[in-house]
Amino acid sequence: MADVRVICAIGRRGQLGLDGRLPWEGNPGREYKADVARFFDLTRGHVLIAGPRTIASFPDWARPERTLVAVRSSDEPEEVIGRFPGRVIFIGGGPPVWSAYARFVMHWDVTKLPYDGEADRYLDPAWLTAG
């Protein structure tokens, strides 16, 4: 059985995204840089399942260090997860993917950042108890 996890960051009010990006993307603050570095460190050597836009946004230097899997809404989560028995799998890509995969997630690693601006996507607390 795979070890399915989520690692994500949210703003003060649960903000996740804005116009298909992280609302704080490019912020030079120490907390933001540390969060990005932690994400790349924790996912190294593991599987990352996410939507096509998230996978496409991955920097070239980080690609060889993890198994990247782009999923679509037509993919069956059980089948996708089943391809990686015994592996640690991180689910990324935001609300649509988390809604589909939340029931399989064993651990949510959520970092709260000091961002308090606009967003059009928010963390749904129901995901945290879907398993």
Q: Which residues 6+ apart lie within 8 Å of 50 measured at CB?
A: 68, 69, 70, 71, 91, 92, 93, 97
Q: Tell me, what's the pLDDT at 88? A: 98
Q: How confident is the model at residue 87 (pLDDT cuts 50, 70, 90)?
A: very high
Please give the model's pTM, rounded to 2 decimal places. 0.92
Q: Are strands 121-122 and 15-17 parallel, antiparallel or unpaired?
A: antiparallel
Q: Residue 30's beta-bridge partner residues? A: none
Q: Which of 3.40.430.10, 3.10.20.30, 3.40.50.960, 1.10.3980.10 would CATH assign to domain 3-129?
A: 3.40.430.10
**Average pLDDT along the chain:** 94
Which pLDDT band holds residue 94 (cuts at 50, 70, 90)?
Answer: confident
Work out the number of other CB atoms within 10 angstroms of the CB of residue 17: 18
Domain ranges of the chain: 3-129
